[in-house]
Structures are given as C-alpha cells and as structure tokens.
Structure 1
Amino acid sequence: MRLLVLGGTHFLGRHVVDAALDRGHEVATFTRGVSGDPPTGARALHGDRDDPGALEAALDGWAPELVVDTSCQSRAAARNAAAVLGGVRGYAFVSSLNAYATWPPGPIGPEDGEPTWQTDDEEYGPVKAHAERVLAAAVPGRFLTARAGLITGPYDPLHRLGWWLERIARGGRVVVPAEGLDQPIALVDARDLAGWLVDAAARGDTGAVNATGPVGTTTLGGLLALCREVTGGDAEWVPVPEADLLAAGVEPWQHLPLWLPAETARTAWDVDTTRARQLGLPSRPLGETVTDTWAWLRSAPRPPVPTGRPAPGLPADLEAALLAGPGAPR
C-alpha cells in the first residue's frame, strides 16, 4: 500500500521507513528537507507542516492509503494534516505519555481511564493531546495514537543511552545515583515501535495505546551494568546520595540521563501496557538494543541534539566535584 511517513529522516521516523519498505509498501516521507534524505527506496517530499498548503502541494496527487505520523510538534501541524489526510485507511500517530495530565509522576493505568490535557498551553504534553483529538476527529474509526514512553536504539539524537555508553566506555570512576540504581525502567526499542506502527496502521488498529516496554523491564543499575559489559569498559561506580546530587545542582534526567528522584520514579515508570502487548507491540532483549546502539555510535557520526534541547550528560566540572566528595569545593 501507499504509506506516507510524516517525518522519516530522524530516529523513529527513519526506522518506520525501513519497516514499511521491508513490508513491501510504497513509501513517501514528508519533511522540511533540512535533515538529510530518507532511506533508499522512499520518495522524499518536502514542506513545512505548519504551512497550510505545503502537504497537499507536496503530495501533488499522490494519495496515501496509510499514514504514520512521527513529527507532529504543533497544533498547526495537526490541523493541516487533518485537512488533507482524512480519507486514509489507517493513521498511526506517535504521541507521548506526556499527553496525560497526570504524568509525570503517574502512575498510568489503562488508557481509557486516564485524563489527557485539555488546556491551550503551547507545551509538549498539551500540544500532543490536542493533536490526538484533531486527528482522531478527521480519521474516525481509523486512528491509533501511540503514547510513547522512553524510546531508545540506533539513530537516537537525544543521546541519553548514548551518553551513558560513551561515559562508561571511557572508564574510571563514574558518578551514579545511589538510590536510583534500583529504580525500575521501561523502554521500547525504536525498531520494535516502528514496525508495530506500520502494522497497526495497515490493520486499522484504533484508539490509544501506552506504547512503551513492560513495567520493570530493567533497573537503572541493570542498564548501566549492561552498558559496561557491552563497551568492555572498566568503569567503577561512585554512588552519590540523591540529596547530595540535588544539592550540587545535578538536574535529574538531564545531567544523569534516565535518572529521576525517588519520589517521582516511584510512580513515573508504572505504566499499564496491557493493551500494547495485546496488540502485539514487541519488546526485544535489552542487550540487543544496547549492543546495537553502541555499534551505531562507533560506526557513524552522531547527529546533533535537536535545536532547543540541551545536550545530556554531567558537566566535567560538576562530575569532578562530586567525585572529590562532599567536602570538596564546588
């Protein structure tokens, strides 16, 4: 079938294109044309999603039957897609757990029992929730929204897992959150999510799905140990209490990627994925995700962190101060 990927050159979108081509679909991507080409075999269409006329002009009579939307970041983008793509047979939209008004900290139960944002705020969660409503109304009975959690794997420009891999590979003493090592983590490999999105659109699956890994996939400590094993590094953990990390100015999730303070972590990772499992969202072994991400990092230039997002990781001066101990000058 003719499948349009809104996005298609970065991370998840790139994996969606690969999955669609592997399944024999005729694939086109719609991007601004500034982030490189899609995988070989896909037709590249260009335009700005926020421009009301851009998508229809780019399609130029090419009528998609299926859509996988990985790039909606504004209310205008949702509105413009809805105006042009209402006749497709299946539309799979990549939303976020941030569409829930109660997450974080959660927990998040079955999808139909959790409230989503209803405000007009121009923030990530409210915008995703608004896009869900606009697109669902345009494609009634043919729309699936995947409320994604932590997505990892090759081509990830956000560099959260990648930062840990590179830091651990350098070896030596590595700051880790003392209480956070036992924090549960659930993630989904971008390749698993991508293939599932393509299949869900083709099947005509509908409704909301918490599209992340099963609760308790691993712990932060387990993930870091796997990073050490995969990289072959000799890193030595230096557990620093949460109170000391926060007092020193360490920003959770940003300076130590994937780490959340205990009070938030207690519920933020507790997301019901029963429906995702029922609809066939796979969860490959974590070792495969970590190994393949490390192989990609060593074989290709890492893409820049998206505009407007700070690069993750612990600044060198802050790391040095923490490693020196609580009595050292800050």
Structure 2
Amino acid sequence: MRLLVLGGTHFLGRHVASAALERGHDVATFTRGVSGEPPEGARPLHGDRDDPDALPKALADGTPDLVVDTSCQTRTAARNAAEVLGDVRAYAFVSSLNAYANWPPGPIGREDDEPTWTTDDEEYGPIKAASERILGAALGDRFLTARAGLIIGPYDPIHRLGWWLERIARGGRVVVPDALEQPIAAVDARDLAEWLIEAVERGLSGAVNATGPTGMSTLGGLLELCREVTGSDAEWVPVPEAALLAAGVEPWVHLPLWLPADVARTAWDVDTSRARELGLPSRPLRDSVADTWAWLRADGRPPRAAHRPEPGLPFEIEAHLLAGVRDDQVT
C-alpha cells in the first residue's frame, strides 16, 4: 500500500520508514528537508506542516492509503493533516504520555480512564492532546494515538542514553544519583516503529500507552548495562538528591533519565496492558543499549536539536560533586 510517514528522516520516523519498506509498502516521507534524507527506497516529499498548501502540493500525485505521523508539533500541523488526510484507511499518531493532564508524576492507568489536557497552552503536553482530538475528530475509528514514553535506540538525537554511554565509557569516577533503585521503562524505537506499521495495516484504533512495561528495569540496572557493553572501568559515585539539587543539577537534563524521588515513585507506573494485548513488543534492554553504543561508535552523535537543552552533567558541576565525595564512598 501507499504509506506516508510524516517525518521519516531521523530516529523514530526513520525506523518507521525502514519498517514500512521492509514490509513491502510504497513509502513516502514528508519533512521540511533540513534533517537529512530518508532511508533508501523511500520517496522524499518536502514542505512545512504549518503551511496549509504544503501537504496538498506534495501529494498532488495521490493521497496515501496509510499514514504514520511522527512529527506533529503544533495544532496547526494537526489541522492541516486532518484536512488533507482525513479520508485515509488508517492513521497512527505518535503522541506522548505528556498528553495526560496528571503526568508526570502519574501514575497512569488504562487509557480511557485518564484525563488529557484541554487547555490552549502552547506547551508540549497540551499540544499533543489537542492534536489527538483534532485528528481523531476527522478520522474516527481509523485513528490510533500511541502515547509514547521514553524512546531509546540507534539514531536517537536527543542523546539521553547516548550521554550515559559516552560518559561511562570514559571511565573513572562517575556521579550518579543515590537513587539507582528508581524504576525505569523504555520502548526501543525499532519495536515501536514496527508495531506502528502493523497497527495501520490492521486498522487498530483508540489510545495506547506505547512504552515499556512497568518494572522493566531500574536506573541502576540501565547504568550497569552501559558499563557492561562499553567495557568500562567506571566507578559510581552516588550523590544524595539534596546535594545534586543544591549544586544546580537539573533532573532529566544534567543527569538524563533521573527524576527526583517524589516524581520517580509514580512517573514510571504506567499501565501498558493494552499495548501488550495489541502486540507491542519489548526487546531485552541490553540489546537496545548495545545497539545504541554500536551505532554511536560507528556514526557518532547526530547534531543536537536547536530547541533542546544540552544533555549531561557540566564539567564544573561534576568536578564540584566529585570533590565532595570520599574515595571509600565510590562503588
């Protein structure tokens, strides 16, 4: 079938395009044309999603049968897509757990039992929730919204897992939060991509919490995998939350994937039973970590998105924290 990926040149969109090609679809990608080329075999279409004339112009030779939308960032983009693509056979939209009005900290139960944002705020969560409503109104039971959580894997430009891998690979004393037991869950971009293609092929609809299962791992378990796959001699230097915050460490940014205790207790408690029922796989976390490390060594880190903060602990903060910890506290 003719399958359109809105996005398709890096990370999740790239994996979606690759998965669609592998399953024999006639694949086109629609991007602004500034983030590289799609996988070989996909037809690149270009335009700005906020321009109401862009999609009709790009699709002048015919509309697709199936759509996977990985790039919607504005309400205008959602309205333009709904206007042009409202008659397709199936449309899968990559939303976010941030569409829920009470996440974080959560917890999040079954999809239909949780409220989503209804405000007009120009913030990520409300925009995703509004986009779901706009597209859902146009497509009805031909619309699937995948509320993704933490996505990891090769081609990840956000560089959260990538930063930990590179820092741990350098070895030595590594600052870590003294909350390594905090739970964590993630979905590999390749698993999500393949499932999204299957979802539109099957005509699945409704909302799905599309992330890793609760209890998948802990932050400490993930960091141990990073130490293992890089072959590092890194030694953990656990630092209490109060000391991290006092030193100016920003949770999730300076120490990627770390959340303060009052948020971490419930933020990872997300009901993914519907995702499991509908076949969303969850490959071993070690495979995701190892494959991300192999990709980083082969290709290097991609350029950072201009609108995102630089991940990782600044050198001066790390040095300050390490100076305050005795050698006998290192693990």
SS of the aligned residue for 2:204 comes to coil
Per-residue CA deviations over 1:175-234 (Å, capped at 9, x if unaligned) read 0001x2000000000000000001101100000000000001100000000000000010
Note the C-alpha offset of 1:27. Answer: 0.2
The equivalent residue for 2:324 is 325
Per-residue CA deviations over 1:64-94 (Å, capped at 9, x if unaligned) read 0000000000010000000000110000000
Note the C-alpha offset of 1:140. Answer: 1.1
2:76 corresponds to 1:73: no
Partners of 1:289 and 1:96 in 2: CA distance: 20
Per-residue CA deviations over 1:273-302 (Å, capped at 9, x if unaligned) read 000000000000011100000000000132
The equivalent residue for 1:101 is 101
Per-residue CA deviations over 1:98-155 (Å, capped at 9, x if unaligned) read 0000000000000000000000001000000000000011111100000000000000
The equivalent residue for 1:208 is 207
Per-residue CA deviations over 1:296-316 (Å, capped at 9, x if unaligned) read 000013211211111100000
2:270 corresponds to 1:243: no
Per-residue CA deviations over 1:231-272 (Å, capped at 9, x if unaligned) read 001000000011111111110000000000011000000000
The equivalent residue for 1:147 is 147
The equivalent residue for 1:51 is 51
2:299 corresponds to 1:300: yes
Q: What is the number of equivalent residue pairs in this alignment?
A: 326
Partners of 1:202 and 1:305 in 2: CA distance: 33
Letter paired with 2:260: P
SS of the aligned residue for 1:24 comes to coil
The equivalent residue for 2:329 is none
Letter paired with 1:167: R
**Once superposed, which parts of structure 1, at least 4 consecutive aligned residues long, lie more than 2 Å away?**
none
Partners of 1:15 and 1:308 in 2: CA distance: 22
Letter paired with 1:307: A
For 1:275-286, what aligned pairs fall within 5 Å after superposition?
275-286=274-285
What is the percentage of aligned positions where both structures have the same residue?
77
The equivalent residue for 2:115 is 115
SS of the aligned residue for 1:306 comes to coil
2:285 corresponds to 1:263: no
Report if the CA contact (8 A) 2:5-2:69 is conserved: yes
Report if the CA contact (8 A) 1:244-1:326 is conserved: no
Note the C-alpha offset of 1:326. Answer: 6.7
SS of the aligned residue for 1:245 comes to helix
Gaps of 5+ in 2: 327-331
Partners of 2:181 and 2:272 in 1: CA distance: 21
SS of the aligned residue for 1:140 comes to helix
The equivalent residue for 2:41 is 41
The equivalent residue for 1:61 is 61
Partners of 2:118 and 2:281 in 1: CA distance: 31
SS of the aligned residue for 2:180 comes to helix
Could you state the TM-score of these two structures normalised by the residue count of structure 2? 0.98
Alpha-carbon RMSD across the aligned residues, in angstroms, is 0.9
The equivalent residue for 1:185 is 184
The equivalent residue for 2:136 is 136
The equivalent residue for 1:8 is 8
SS of the aligned residue for 2:140 comes to coil
Gaps of 5+ in 1: none
Letter paired with 2:139: V
The equivalent residue for 1:173 is 173
SS of the aligned residue for 1:92 comes to strand
Letter paired with 2:40: T
Partners of 1:181 and 1:13 in 2: CA distance: 31
